[in-house]
Structure 1
Amino acid sequence: MKASVGEIISLLMKIIYFYFESFYRLIVPPARQDVRGKKVLITGAGHGIGRELSLEFARLGASLILWDINKENNEDTADEVRRVGVTVHSYVCDVTSTDDVHNTADRVRREVGNVDILVNNAGILYGGPVLDMQEKHIRRTFEVNTLAHFWTVREFLPPMLEANKGVIMNIASASAKSGTAFLVDYSSSKYAVFGFTEALREEIDRLGKPGVQATVVCPFFVDTGLCKYPKSRFDPILTPKGSRRCTCRDDFGCS
């Protein structure tokens, strides 16, 4: 089906508008949202950027709901959050299991209530030459880094849509913008997260729910311990705490 002249003009006008909007936002960035009292669920909260995000949201006054597959690490983060002085609930959850996600989400709804902000942060990295990768590692990478987003969003998005209020934040990676050698599995999974978020944002817009936001963060390289001897030719490798200096540089893609 050929596009009409009107449709082409409409598309060009939208492109021009978004360019001007982006330029304006460079000069006048939007005000930070007030998250005091908001219920924030973070997956992969027991380590690295997940832990730092939990602490930062706590300092801003949010109530935390922490998910991680590692109970000990998750409880360590929960203890740090409690010392900040806010409410925190911790749950052990394997985000690759649809049953586990569903059952844990049910517990959250019963014990805490609806989630205001969902942060899909849990990630995993294997890497290596593409011809040497093990099939189980490739599958696991996509199960944790990509497919898990579907399971969490399907649980927590419906109440957001009903209330026309909420935020879904997906943590991708700089590798979602530029593929990285010897991280073909990882880069691919993060490209998928970027596309997932773009499509989800469009779908929410089509549903007429402007109060629900979907955003993707593409962090730069940070040493969270999941990659041995991380190196960068162009910028120093950051630490998880140091990455708080810049909102677009959070992680090496893993939590």
Structure 2
Amino acid sequence: MKEKDAPLDPLEIFSQIKKLLPFFRSFRRDKNSVDILNLLKDIARALQLVCKGGKNLLFDLTNLSRIQIESCFNLIGLGKLCIFYPHLQAVYAAQQTAFPGVWWMEKKERQQKVSSLHIEVGRIPGFVFLENKERIKNPDLKTALCSLGSSRISLQALVSSLVSYACEQIRDKTERKIHLNLLPLMMQDIKTLHCLIPKTDFTIYSREKQAWIFGTPWKNIWWFEEIADPQVNQKSIGLLICEFPYSLFPDCLELDISARRLEKIAA
């Protein structure tokens, strides 16, 4: 980000001072907060539109100075959910703010050296759905398992269930968790599963639930890791069968609450 170092002419300076006078009386912060509060008002309105079924909205921050971005950061902070996705053409990273439905979103084109910074308003960042388009539907996991030379009945049964769950049309957005440590599997079976269903670099991390979700090449199949025992930092690993882990993301009510909180801050 580049700071705005170009000098202002006296008339423009005077115009800015006039705009700041009522602001100083009602909200005693630095001079950059006027634009930031206006931005927060726009974000609150965008959240309300999203709640009514509107599309995600992006707010470009490239025209803001570093100080203004820091002021914005101080107001909306960081939340407990982040997403990383290295697409073929660009690398995306999103971090939820302290207001569910409002995201810091960074995008770096692979052919460029500088990344762009935005605030995205929406339940789920839009780039997430690019990943879903790259997945393979109806994977032939049974044939792939045979090619790996595994004949253990417990593993074959698990794979048959995975195929059944993953290939059926998921209409109710159910999420089926399969905890591998609860199944009669050997360490070699889990290694075979990792070969059969490799993790991709698409990653969701929930600090609130202390859980990681990893993409796979197959539609409706995800890996998950979560802290089973925080005292000893013991992890539980398994497979998540769903269209997308929607349960990690805010619902309409949370978006509405975020919009109201932002309106109070910006008032």
TM-score of the superposed pair, with normalisation by structure 2:
0.22
Larger Rg: 2
Greater percentage in strand: 2
- RCO (CA 8 Å, sep 6+): is it higher in 1 or 2? 2
TM-score of the superposed pair, with normalisation by structure 1:
0.23
Greater percentage in helix: 1
